[in-house]
A and B are shown apart, each in its own frame.
Chain A
Amino acid sequence: MLTVDFHSSGDVVHWALTDDGVTRTVHSEYTPTLFVGDAVRDLYGRRGGPTPTPPDRDGLSESLTDLQAFLTGQDAVVDIQCEAHRQTFRTAPRPLLRIDAASVDAVRRIAQRVQQFNGPAEYTCYNVDLTPQFRYCLETTTPASPDRSVRSLRTLTLSIPPHKAGPDALSHLTIDGDAAGPTPEATVTAVDRAVRERDPDVIVVSTAKLVPVLFDAADTHDVPNFELGRAPGYTKLAGESTYTSYGQVGHSPARYTIPGRVVIDESNTFFYHEAGLPGCLDLVNRAGLPLEELSWASIGRVLTAMQIRAARDRDVLVPWQAWRPELFKPAATLDAADRGGTTFAPAVGVHENVHELDFASLYPNIIRTRNISPETVCCGCCDTNDVPGLGYSICEADGYLPTVLGPLIDARSRIKDQIEETTDDVERDRLDSASSAIKWILVSCFGYQGFSNAKFGRIECHEAINAFARDILLDAKTALEDAGWRVVHGIVDSIWVTPTKDREQRNLETVAAEISTDTGIELEYECAFDWVTFCPMRNSESGALTRYFGKRRDEALPVSEATLGDAIKTRGIEGRQRSTPTWVEDVQAEALRVFDKTRSPEAVCDVLRRTLTSLRNDDVDPERLVIDNRVSKHIADYTHETLTVAALKRATLNGTGLSPGQTIQYVVVNNNAHGTERVRLSYEDITRYDTDWYANAAIRAVESVLAPIGWREGEIRDYLTGTTDQTLTAYSERTDS
């Protein structure tokens, strides 16, 4: 299917692709279903241990019978029966109330009534908060993917620049990149025509707010029969909202949909940004989450969709609320479990002849090879000591989580092989998109196990995965040391080694292969470095765990200046951060080139001196000074008057306020000024910049390169101002020794 519309009458309209358009099918009989079980204490309360042991019964309990009587005949309820299903992965099917609701909206209303009936925590509800299209696919066994064997999807992109707002904004609208019209009226007419002519299946909008804005403008300017969808009108699915969860303030923008077409909101999509439409469609197929819902879904929601499908295969219902608590454990165990990933503190400075080895998809592979799943860890039926350091048991029976992640791990490695083999650029792009979408799911599956509101998450899984990861990394370290290699740094799934002095080394790839066999997870040889430099923390001499750079042995530096190509790998330093202005990035790149060539802090500082001179002579194009920041929260939620806040305020002042998830671009013009005067937004006319502020930024970027060899900001400034007297320094060193 392509998409599904839900009418308040309860009718459901199902749209599917045909070779020249779409078919529209109305299902008036569709009734979404939820389930209600007994009090939570039967599962996790007094009877709760590793294995819930609810009391046996044949039919409905008295309390469920009461509820049935209360709900029978209510408008929201179409049918209500007794049906047996499993409430958890560790319990057998039990007779529960099955309630068929009049519409998707009625589901939540019913659940809320259940919650209010007969005291809190008297009932547990299931299959309540599924997104409507996903629910429809599940309950009617409809494939979530559009059938692209019929034809490929047609898309239309409508954009307005993020800094344009208000009634005039429509004059700046583009249709697939082309200006739509000089006036709002012309724009609406052009959009209407484009939609009719192109008959798109997917409309990508730069912001979902465009949907009501276009309809309103059509109204204002009397554009007859204006439509975006394949039937009249549009629907607001969710209002803009701010919420608190576990002490954190979050924000979600409004969502809109239109009949018969998928809306993708570029200001509210993770996967479309990361993987494009092909990657999204690939994921729709794997996760069974329909395209429109996947487009705004978080990684966790997609992973949850997969888990829900796996649970359904085992007749397990989806709990509404996260009732399942962690087990009581001795503080001593919690102390061991709470340590997080293992890291070996890196030795600050330059290391010659370094090799990097990485465990491939470490966390997902631990889950898979160690059978980690919410229902297998501390299972209660096996009395074994399986998790290193924690003593938790892991059940012999196959867990469901490995069956969810296994196919993803395999698919990703298959796709990686195909990327290596293919010579077709279009094909490579498609594969890259698919790979990137899957990568995010795999990267997040570990953290999501510990997320409090995860549908099937469990903290003990999270702890077990961590414990195995520590064990594996430590075993690898020992094996490498036994083979004559010294570990200079290790973090979670990566290890850096260099030959131990005065020892013979066994071949690294052989050792890695042995470790792979022993641990059951492939330790890949990543690459050789001529040198690697580990940086100290900004305000300490200790090594920072994720700030380093190194020269790859097999890659030459590009001839053109100021770019590094793949020759120098950097992590955690300015050049890697998206907010860093191009100009600062270039200063750092040049510093790294000179550092590679000379290892001389003086030579690097000479580069800096030249760049600062041109900065002070106003020779730098302000475009190269633009700071690009992703807005992480609402302006009111920021507690410090940062430059980003100043820029956000300036945008609001211009009537172009930004929502979290969007990016703000600005140049610092006077850091000492007040409020919005500190910055100019990138689309404004920028004739000056704050020389001192950018000079400091450049010095910090160079400090990142030189700090590992002992040159901090002070030394750099001294050298720049020429107060460092070489002779004097040399003299004092001599007298000290």
Chain B
Amino acid sequence: MNTSQRQSPVELPELDTGLTLVDVGSDLGVTPVQSLLLDRVFAGDGDAYWVDAAGTAQTTRLRELAPDKRYLHRVHVARGFTAYQQTSLLDRLTGDRVTTPSVVVATGIDRLYRDTDVPATHAQDLLVRAIAALARVARVHDVPVVVTRSRADEFTRPLVNAAQTHLQWEDTQFGPRFTDAAGDVETLVYHLSDGWVQTTLAYWQEVLTHRARMHDASVVGEEATSGSV
């Protein structure tokens, strides 16, 4: 992971090709990950693909976050409602119908395998298979793959082992921050000099509007956001 602190006061981690595990505090849910996803859409040429097994793919938040509604046509979503559906979906990511993605996101990858209708040993096999499928996605499309899990425990250890990068998202007194679990690199999303920790929707809208401008991507309703960033 690289950061370029000097380029801009608003930073999001730059994602490398391969698997990136992001652990997010549950109170913010999927918002930081959706922000990473949109950021790639601003920057990249391809569309984003999102497989959700966490029941978090409600589009309301994504719609609110996107600086321009047209981005919603460039984010392709499919939700797994059973462990088996999710398994099929992860395979589908390397199929004919998914072409040149700019980023692939899989939220709550472990969640459905924890359902009691999946026998325990089978669940572990399926999870490992799911991780392998995602690694394959990264390789075939040469893209970053962002993964989240519902719980950090022994069951999801294979995911930690497989991920090239393991980011932890946390709220600090200076603002939200992504920290690389492996080392010293961190990205402070947006330095809030007054010490006021902002984790609201408005905050993320502002971050994303700024990131879109940085990438010369489309932003509508600019007049509606504060110009102070």
Contact = CB atoms under 8 A, between A and B. Distances in A.
Interface of A: 40-41, 43-49, 112, 115-116, 119-121, 243-247, 321-332, 334-335, 338, 452-453, 459
Contacts of B116: 243-245
B117 interface: yes
Given A41-B91, A243-B116, A324 B85 contact: yes
Contact of A46 (B73, B86, B92): B92
Contacts of A246: 81-82, 112, 115
A331 B82 contact: no
Contacts of B115: 244-247
Given A247-B55, A335-B59, A325 B85 contact: yes
Contacts of A116: 121-122
21 contacts: A40-B84, A44-B88, A45-B92, A46-B95, A47-B96, A48-B91, A48-B95, A49-B96, A120-B129, A121-B126, A121-B129, A243-B117, A246-B81, A246-B115, A322-B81, A325-B78, A328-B98, A331-B63, A331-B72, A334-B59, A459-B81
B102 to A, nearest CB: 14
Given A244-B115, A335-B59, A121 B87 contact: yes
A268 to B, nearest CB: 20
A338 B111 CA distance: 22
Interface string B58-74: 11101100000100111
Nearest to B86: A325
A331 B122 contact: no
Contacts of A332: 69, 72-73
Nearest to A321: B84
A635 to B, nearest CB: 20
B77 A325 contact: no
**6 closest Cβ contacts across the A-B interface?**
A45-B91, A452-B81, A46-B95, A332-B72, A335-B59, A44-B88
Nearest to B95: A46
A49 B87 contact: no
Interface in B93-116: 94-98, 111-112, 114-116
B125 interface: yes
B77 A338 contact: no
A246 B80 CA distance: 10
B92 A325 contact: yes
A45 B95 CA distance: 7
B76 interface: yes
Nearest to B126: A120
A327 to B, nearest CB: 7
Interface in B117-134: 117, 119, 121-122, 125-126, 129
B81 A324 contact: no
A322 B84 contact: yes
B105 to A, nearest CB: 12
B125 A120 contact: yes
A644 B115 CA distance: 28
B186 to A, nearest CB: 30
A40 B125 contact: no
B178 interface: no
Q: Is the interface of A mostly helix, strand, loop or mixed?
A: loop
Given A328-B49, A331-B62, 13 more contacts: A40-B88, A41-B91, A115-B122, A120-B126, A245-B115, A247-B55, A324-B88, A328-B76, A328-B77, A331-B59, A331-B73, A335-B62, A459-B81
B94 A329 contact: no
Contacts of B72: 330-332, 335
A78 to B, nearest CB: 25
A48 B50 CA distance: 16
B139 interface: no
Nearest to A247: B55
- Most interface-central of B50, B85, B94, B114 (chain A CB within 10 A): B85
Contacts of A43: 88
A327 B96 contact: no
Contacts of B125: 119-120
B191 interface: no
Given A328-B77, A329-B76, A331-B62, A46 B87 contact: no
B89 interface: yes
Contacts of A322: 81-82, 84-85
A46 B91 CA distance: 6
A44 B91 contact: yes
A40 B78 contact: no
A326 B78 contact: yes
A681 B92 CA distance: 56
Contacts of B88: 40-41, 43-45, 48, 323-325
Contact of B59 (A40, A115, A338): A338
Given A48-B95, A243-B117, A327 B84 contact: no
Nearest to A323: B84
Nearest to A120: B125
A71 to B, nearest CB: 18
B92 A44 contact: yes
B197 interface: no
Interface in B23-78: 49-50, 55, 57-60, 62-63, 69, 72-78
Contacts of B84: 40, 121, 321-323
Given A246-B81, A338-B59, A49 B129 contact: no
B129 A119 contact: yes
A40 B87 contact: yes
A47 B95 CA distance: 6
Given A119-B129, A121-B126, A323 B87 contact: yes
Contacts of A119: 125, 129
B117 A245 contact: yes
B77 A334 contact: yes
B129 A329 contact: no
A40 B115 CA distance: 20
Nearest to B48: A331
Contacts of A47: 95-96
Contact of A328 (B55, B58, B78, B94): B78
A121 B123 CA distance: 11
A326 B87 CA distance: 12
